[in-house]
Amino acid sequence: MTDKNDNKRRILDMLAQNKISVDDAYRLLSAVDSTEGGRESGGRAEPAVKGKAKYLRVTVVPDPESERTGNYDRVNVRVPMSLIRAGIKLTTLIPSEARDKVNLALHEKGINIDERNLKPEEIEELIGALGDLEVDVVSKTGEKVKVFVE
């Protein structure tokens, strides 16, 4: 546990000395928490904080009959939540005319979100809320579709 605290202190010292940016410090602190705080299990680190969303996952599993005949598609997509965070940050690069059109289109659909007003803690709260997301669908053909956060 002291190694983890030592690493955090070093990161904060580098930040205080202006050797790294606030964003770099945040990323490094997050990495310290996820790598040192997790325990290894079968070659894969388990999250340090149970329930903390790390990936958005979409899977499509074929029905048993299709698997037997070999006539099927299998889908397994895992999107890192860090990519979602980065995508939200990249919205600052959208030209104002395009941003206004997007906000108007969202407003017309009843979604009153203006990304210019989102604060970092609100983004984290939104991403944290995805942890409760779970969608399970079984199609008429027997395929199983799952969308969840792990």
Q: Is the dihedral of CA 42, 48, 52, 55 positive or negative?
A: negative
Least trusted range by pLDDT, from 4-13, 47-56, 118-127? 47-56
Give me the pLDDT at residue 26, please. Answer: 78
Query: What is the amino acid identity at position 97?
Result: E
Least trusted range by pLDDT, from 22-26, 75-79, 106-110? 22-26
Q: Is 50's pLDDT higher than 60? A: no
Give me the pLDDT at residue 46, please. Answer: 37
What is the Cα–Cα distance from 21 to 27, expressed in whole angstroms?
10
- Paired strand residues for 147: 58, 135
- Considering only the C-alpha atoms of the chain, give the largest distance between any 2 of them, rounded to a whole number of Å: 63
The DSSP result for 56-110, as a single string, is EEEEEE--HHHHHHT----EEEEEEHHHHHHHHHHGGGS-HHHHHHHHHHHHHTT
User: 14: buried, middle or exposed (CB in 10 Å: 19+, 13-18, 0-12)?
Assistant: middle
Q: pTM of the predicted model, to two decimals?
A: 0.46
Domain ranges of the chain: 1-48, 51-150
Q: Is 37's pLDDT higher than 60? A: no
Give me the pLDDT at residue 39, please. Answer: 40
